[in-house]
A and B are shown apart, each in its own frame.
Chain A
Amino acid sequence: SQKIEQNSEALNIQEGKTATLTCNYTNYSPAYLQWYRQDPGRGPVFLLLIRENEKEKRKERLKVTFDTTLKQSLFHITASQPADSATYLCALKYTGTASKLTFGTGTRLQVTL
């Protein structure tokens, strides 16, 4: 079965630095990969989607990369702010698994002053 691991359960960084979160998967490549933000007691909020034939996507201070050789996605938040503190989840949809989005283990990001 597919395993999706975000190798840092928690990440603490200083305000203004770049936070880099990692998502690793096993087996075959997904059709696309998404990143979500989740605050305590709330549902996940969609941030970015990147497809298997794309290398990089950007949105404001966010950047996602996708390396199908390494079976890895990196999620970067530049100029991080305390308001960026949350749990970040990667999620994969594999080709042939209609409408089945599977979430990674999540990384809890804490940005301090």
Chain B
Amino acid sequence: DTEVTQTPKHLVMGMTNKKSLKCEQHMGHRAMYWYKQKAKKPPELMFVYSYEKLSINESVPSRFSPECPNSSLLNLHLHALQPEDSALYLCASSQPTNRTDYGYTFGSGTRLTVV
């Protein structure tokens, strides 16, 4: 299995809702990432987990809360979002080392719309 699976593919939520995005990989990768991508912009890093521990938080607002329950799963819990948070949310995984010629494996993303 050489892919990253993200669910749901599309999500519409109100500003008072609580929802979660899910990401799963079975490639044995020990680093997992959340990126946010707005239209016609590059992906922007939000969080990095390495060996199931949060190693990087790019000053993301607390209304986004990541969780890594085990080495295969990564969640992003959403609460009290704003319309400007509408974007494509991408999960990725990789080996947490520079000693590889492989890049990141990305999922297809969750298209989030906040109304």
Contacts and interface: CB of A to CB of B under 8 A. Distances in A.
Interface string B72-115: 00000000000000001010101010100111111111010000
Contact of A42 (B44, B56, B102, B109): B109
B21 interface: no
A11 interface: no
A49 B103 contact: yes
Nearest to A98: B55
A43 B109 contact: yes
Contacts, number: 63
A101 B102 CA distance: 13
Contacts of B106: 43-45
B48 A99 contact: yes
A83 B105 CA distance: 21
Contact of A100 (B4, B48, B92, B103): B48
Interface residues of B, number: 28
A66 B107 CA distance: 28
Given A46-B103, A93-B98, A102 B45 contact: yes
A46 to B, nearest CB: 3
Contacts of B102: 46, 49
A99 B56 CA distance: 8
Contacts of A49: 101-103
Given A100-B48, A100-B56, A44 B43 contact: yes
Interface string A76-113: 00000000000001010100001111111110000000
Nearest to A35: B103
Interface of B: 4, 31, 33, 41-45, 48, 50, 55-56, 88, 90, 92, 94, 96, 98, 101-109, 111
